Structure 1
Amino acid sequence: MAENGSRKDRKKLNLKVKKEFQSWMLKQVLLAVAISSVVAAIILYFYARQEVVDSFFTAHVKIRRVSDLLLPVVFAGSVVSLVVGVVLSLFLPQKIAGPIYRIEQSLEKIGDGDLTTNIKLRDKDRLKDLAENVNKATFSLRVQVHEAKAVCMELEKAYLDNDDAKVSELMQRQKELIAKLIT
């Protein structure tokens, strides 16, 4: 896939990728924003509940408590905080869910035996290190499989040539290669 074409496709908001993960992440972020908003509102409200005696004696409107004046401000601040939290929670999971989705797709291919698969993530993706580690592991497996295939082909040739000494030597090498793989 070309870098420019895939970058253009990735900029779109795709809410269908890992719906369960995104909904979990959305709930977590919304819960954090809601709790912080409510706590801030409660603190401000109780702080503002203190009675004001002399400071508002010249006011045209009779205000018994500062809370009567600040309640609409606290409510508006909480609503704005909640709206910002909702907007952030729609976009932040994409930074995690997108790379996880691409890693899972590549791991399925690797699991099916395609050891040529390489996980490609953007430079700014948070899971870039994980993808690089999986790529290193896949490369190591690919090298081991190539060695085993080469020994297998030599073993087949030696068997067809009736070279018992070579067959015995290659079988030992094959066992050593297979012993490296822990299953």
Structure 2
Amino acid sequence: MMARANQRRVYFIEKKFQTHFIIKFCLLVILGSLTTGILLCLLSGSSTTVTFQNLRATVMTTSDFLLPVLIQIIIISTAVVAIATMFLTLFISHRIAGPLYRFKREFSKIESGDLKGDFRIRKNDQLQDIALSIDNMVKRLKDVIVELKNQSQLLINSKDKFLDSKILEDQKIYAEETKKIIENIKKALDYFKI
């Protein structure tokens, strides 16, 4: 229990996906900051501003004059970045949620004994390597089950021949065949670690 608490956790599980995900969010933040900075530079500079308030000319610093405008710009920039972020995360999460939904559906079929499905997912979805691994696993399970069914049928046939045989020599031959078939079944079952 204690050793497990001290183990280092792996944070980058899907490095390529997570890196792209982080970079896209960082680019959005940079875009928002750049937008604010550029607009501030364009609008203020290092000057004073003359304004008319209540029919009086007032001289004030540009920053004092721009503060209300700057707040509006920041609100608009934040809203634009927030909307862009919502769409980006929606599309990216869809590329993950879609395959996970498909996996759950296929796992339910496998649980009920149906190995006919496949784990192909859309080309641009994440989890392609996991889908390929699961597909290979299911194909291997199919191969082992087909082999077990074939060996089982051979065992039944050998048993029937043994029981139908009246000659002791034939019974020895069928007993040897049965032994080989049982060894093949054991070999197929030994593939699985339980």
Which category describes the TM-score, using the shorter chain as reference length? 0.5 to 0.7
Over the residues paired in the alignment, what is the CA RMSD in angstroms? Answer: 3.1
Could you tell which deviates more after superposition, 172-181 or 133-142?
172-181
**Residue 60 in 1 paired to residue 71 in 2?**
no
1:99-147 deviations in Å (ceiling 9; x for gaps)? 2111221122122221221122122222222212111111011111111
Number of aligned pairs? 143
AA aligned to 2:51 is H
Cα 1:158–1:165 shift into 2, 3 Å: same
Match of 2:189 among 162, 173, 178: 178
CA distance in 1, matches of 2:111, 2:153: 24
Cα 1:63–1:84 shift into 2, 3 Å: farther
CA distance in 2, matches of 1:180, 1:83: 52
Shift, 1:65, TM fit:
5.7
Matches within 5 A, 1:126-141: 126-141=126-141
2:78 is matched with which residue? 78
Between the two proteins, what is the percent identity of the paired residues? Answer: 19
Which stretches in structure 1 are left out of the alignment for 5+ residues? 1-28
CA distance in 2, matches of 1:63, 1:92: 48
Q: Kindly report structure 1 stretches of 4+ aligned residues shifted beyond 4 Å.
A: none
Could you tell which deviates more after superposition, 139-148 or 90-99?
90-99
Q: Is the 8 A contact 2:48 2:62 kept in 1?
A: no
Q: What is the TM-score with the length of structure 1 in the denominator?
A: 0.65
CA distance in 2, matches of 1:56, 1:120: 64
Which stretches in structure 2 are left out of the alignment for 5+ residues? 1-21, 53-58, 163-173
Larger CA Rg, structure 1 vs 2 = 2
Shift, 1:94, TM fit:
1.6
CA distance in 2, matches of 1:56, 1:65: 5
Matches within 5 A, 1:6-85: 36=29, 40=33, 55-57=47-49, 59-60=50-51, 62-64=59-61, 66=63, 68=67, 69-85=69-85
- SS of aligned partner of 1:60: strand
Shift, 1:83, TM fit:
2.3
2:121 is matched with which residue? 121
- SS of aligned partner of 1:161: helix
Q: Is the 8 A contact 2:95 2:124 kept in 1?
A: no
Could you tell which deviates more after superposition, 64-73 or 74-83?
64-73
